[in-house]
Amino acid sequence: MSKVCEITGKKLMSGNNVSKSHNRTKRMFYPNIKVKKYFLQDENKWVKLTISASGMKKIAKVGLKKALEDAKQKGYITKY
């Protein structure tokens, strides 16, 4: 499973763990990614998305059709 949100484009970020003695070691910051199925009423089919928690909030706010169109326009998703 890819760790990239298909709606918002969120992906892995790298950074440092900083200890009390200020030693730095590399680490990864992972987005909160889940696989979720949504029903697209216009086309009468289910759509399976790899989506972050903020992507779910965006779908709840603007609607599934609008969120998919925005993601396709920005290049986060190729087809749905």
Q: Does domain 13-74 have CATH number 3.30.230.10?
A: no
pTM of the shown model: 0.83
Distances (CA, A) of 2 to 16, 22, 60, 61, 73: 22, 32, 23, 25, 20
Q: What is the mean pLDDT of residues 19-33?
A: 96
| pLDDT, position 2 | 77
Q: Which helix (H) or strand (E) holds 73?
A: helix 64-74
| pLDDT, position 78 | 84
| pLDDT, position 19 | 97
7-18 pLDDT, tens digit per residue, is 999 999 999 999
> Where are the domains positioned within the chain?
13-74
Q: Which two tokens stand for residue 61?
A: 């706010």
